[in-house]
């Protein structure tokens, strides 16, 4: 059965890899549209990146630009990780894929109102759009099957000692989403670090087709941080939620109470995963992915790039 999804994203190198994986599996995942949000870079930049990538690989898609700032904090883009454009590395064509003249929140509303099936939201960036949507159209939350997101951590952080970037960027939005009673699937840093691509696997992509060449150029830039630190691999963060939709059997998970810290010099955006036992079933608001089979994960991902080059 085909699952209908909206991809909410801030492309972003790993966002693009997640989108490529989804596009390679149209029988399993029907992408109803893309909504963009301020995160890795300002929303205008990440929206332009998405339109250019779809143009480069010859795909169409509905793109709706969303919130240009977090709910309470100022934007905090990360050029060190993603460059000044938000997608430094590849040379991309001018976009022929057009952005809709409709805000992301209104696009979400229209899709959910007109769908006869529940929709899965795949959240690959800060949760601003989704929080605003839930506050603006609370009667439509029953049309959301689940929100599967890349964000948070059980034990550590990457932007602060105890905070992952997507949640840190808009913790107030994350708090709204995690307290929404909608089923949440959380792909945090631990499982994302297991789902890492070897740098030799990145290098081997070059020269095999336009999609694999694009992935190579994107991942060469994205992997520079870890290459410079003599690591042999780099996480494919945003790919994890898509892979879990396709192959949940590759993962282990456990339901936990997850709380969001909205402030603190060291804890803004911390996902407080309550590991204490026993747990009240009524407090288990998130299914947290804990481990994955890297080899199976990577085979499906790399095969997806090959498949896109055949189409």
**pLDDT level of residue 81 (50, 70, 90 thresholds):** confident
What SS3 class is residue 267? Answer: coil
- The answer to whether 191 and 290 have CB atoms below 8 angstroms apart is yes
Summarised one tens digit per residue, pLDDT across range 284-307 is: 999 999 999 999 999 999 999 999
3-state secondary structure 277-290: CCCCHHHCCEEEEE
Burial of 265 (0-12, 13-18, 19+ CB in 10 A): exposed
What's residue 311's pLDDT? 81
**Cross-strand pairs, 48:** none
Provide the percentage of residues in the chain whose pLDDT is more than 90: 98
User: How far apart (Å, rounded) are the C-alpha atoms in residues 248 and 104?
Assistant: 28
- DSSP secondary structure code for residue 248 in this structure: G
**pLDDT level of residue 79 (50, 70, 90 thresholds):** confident
What's residue 1's pLDDT? 83
- The answer to whether 10 and 39 have CB atoms below 8 angstroms apart is yes
Place of tokens 């945003």: 238
Summarised one tens digit per residue, pLDDT across range 166-219 is: 999 999 999 999 999 999 999 999 999 999 999 999 999 999 999 999 999 999
Burial of 106 (0-12, 13-18, 19+ CB in 10 A): middle
Contacts of 192 (CB under 8 A, 6+ apart): 150, 235, 236, 237, 240
Task: List the structure tokens of 45.
Answer: 């930049």
Question: Phi and psi (nearest 5°) for 172?
Answer: -65, -40
- The answer to whether 122 and 243 have CB atoms below 8 angstroms apart is no
- The answer to whether 185 and 140 have CB atoms below 8 angstroms apart is no
Its pTM stands at 0.97
Dihedral Cα 3, 111, 147, 160, nearest 10 deg: 130
Q: What angle do CA 294, 149, 234 make, to 5 degrees?
A: 35
Q: Identify the H or E element spanning 260.
A: strand 258-260
Summarised one tens digit per residue, pLDDT across range 118-160 is: 999 999 999 999 999 999 999 999 999 999 999 999 999 999 9
Q: Where are the alpha helices (DSSP H) in the chain?
A: 13-23, 43-56, 79-82, 104-114, 128-136, 165-169, 171-178, 189-194, 199-203, 210-222, 224-228, 239-246, 294-310
User: How far apart (Å, rounded) are the C-alpha atoms in residues 121 and 141?
Assistant: 11
User: How far apart (Å, rounded) are the C-alpha atoms in residues 218 and 86?
Assistant: 11
Q: Give how far Cα 225 sits from Cα of 77, 92, 147, 192, 230, Å.
A: 16, 22, 29, 16, 9
What's residue 80's pLDDT? 84
Sign of the C-alpha dihedral computed for residues 122, 125, 127 and 132 taken in this order: negative
| Average model confidence (pLDDT) across the chain | 97
């Amino acid at each position: 059965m085909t699952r209908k999804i909206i991809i909410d994203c801030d492309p972003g190198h790993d966002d693009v890899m997640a989108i490529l994986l989804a596009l390679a599996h149209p029988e399993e995942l029907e992408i109803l549209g893309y909504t963009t949000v301020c995160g890795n870079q300002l929303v205008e930049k990440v929206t332009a990146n998405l339109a250019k990538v779809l143009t480069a690989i010859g795909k169409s898609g509905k793109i709706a630009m969303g919130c240009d700032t977090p709910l309470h904090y100022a934007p905090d883009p990360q050029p060190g990780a993603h460059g000044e454009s938000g997608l430094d590395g590849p040379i991309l064509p001018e976009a022929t894929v057009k952005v809709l003249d409709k805000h992301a929140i209104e696009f979400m509303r229209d899709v959910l109102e007109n769908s006869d099936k529940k929709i899965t939201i795949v959240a690959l960036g800060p949760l601003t759009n989704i929080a605003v949507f839930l506050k603006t159209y609370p009667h439509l939350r029953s049309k959301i099957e689940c929100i599967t997101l890349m964000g948070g951590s059980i034990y550590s952080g990457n932007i602060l000692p105890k905070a992952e970037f997507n949640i840190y960027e808009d913790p107030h939005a994350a708090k709204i989403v995690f307290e929404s009673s909608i089923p949440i699937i959380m792909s945090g840093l631990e499982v994302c670090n297991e789902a890492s691509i070897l740098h030799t696997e990145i290098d081997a992509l070059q020269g095999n087709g336009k999609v694999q060449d694009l992935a190579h150029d994107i991942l060469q830039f994205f992997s520079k941080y870890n290459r410079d630190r003599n690591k042999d691999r780099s996480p494919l963060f945003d790919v994890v939620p898509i892979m879990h939709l396709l192959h949940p059997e590759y993962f282990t998970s456990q339901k936990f109470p997850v709380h969001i810290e909205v402030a603190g010099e060291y804890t803004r955006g911390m996902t407080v995963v309550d590991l204490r036992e026993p747990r009240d079933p009524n407090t288990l608001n998130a299914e947290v992915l804990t481990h994955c089979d890297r080899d199976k994960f990577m085979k499906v991902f790399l095969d997806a790039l090959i498949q896109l080059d055949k189409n």
